[in-house]
Amino acid sequence: MDVQFFTAWIEEIARAVADGRDHLTRLDAAIGDADHGSNLDRGFTAVLAALAATPPETPGAVLTLTGTTLIRKVGGASGPLYGTAFRRMGAALGQGDADVTLAGLAAALDEALAGVRKLGGATEGDKTMVDALGPATRALAEAADKGMDAEEALDAARDAAEEGARATIPLQARKGRASYLGERSVGHEDPGAASTALMFRALRAVAGR
Partner 1 sequence: MKKLINSADSVVTDALAGMAEAHPSLRVDVDNKIIYRRSAPVAGKVGLVSGGGSGHEPLHGGFVGHGMLDAACPGEIFTSPVPDQVIEATKGVDGGAGVLHIVKNYTGDVLNFEMAAELCAEEGIEVAVVLVNDDVAVKDSLYTAGRRGTGATVFVEKIAGALAETGAPLAEVVRVGTEVNARSRSFGVALSPGTVPAAGKPNFDLADDEIELGIGIHGEPGRTRAPAAPAREIARIAMDAVHADMPLTGDVLVMVNGMGGTPLIELYVVFAEVAAYVRDKGATLTRSLVGNYVTSLDMQGFSVTVCALTDELTRLWDAPVETPGLRWGR
Q: Based on CB atoms, which residue is closest to partner 1, 119 or 205?
A: 119
> For residues 129 and 112, is the Cβ–Cβ distance under 8 A?
no
CB closer to partner 1 out of 20 and 59: 20
DSSP per-residue string spanning 144-161: HHTT--HHHHHHHHHHHH
Using CA atoms, how far residue 139 sits from 59, 77, 146, in Å, is: 22, 26, 11
CB of 57 vs partner 1, minimal distance in Å: 25
CA distance linking residue 59 with residue 92, whole number of Å? 10
Task: State which residue, 22 or 149, has the beta carbon closest to partner 1.
Answer: 22
Least Cβ distance, residue 24 to partner 1 (angstroms): 12
CB-nearer residue toward partner 1: 94 or 179:
179
Report the residue number, 33 or 97, with the smaller CB distance to partner 1: 33
- What are the phi and psi torsion angles at 124 (to 5°)? -65, 140
User: Toward partner 1, which CB reaches closer, 56 or 176?
Assistant: 176
| Integer angstrom CA distances of residue 112 from 40, 85, 130, 187, 209 | 18, 4, 10, 28, 25
Q: Determine the angle formed by the axes of helices 78-93 and 36-53, rounding to 10 degrees.
A: 40
Half-sphere exposure of 176 (CA within 13 A, CB side): 29
Residues that bind partner 1 (CB under 8 A): 25, 29, 31-35, 38-39, 42, 71-81, 119-120, 172, 174-177, 179-182, 184
CB 170 within 8 A of CB 186: yes
Task: Say which residues have a Cβ less than 8 Å from residue 53's Cβ, sequence separation at least 6.
Answer: none
36-53 helix and 59-73 helix, angle to the nearest 10 degrees:
130
Least distance CB 47 / partner 1 (angstroms):
14
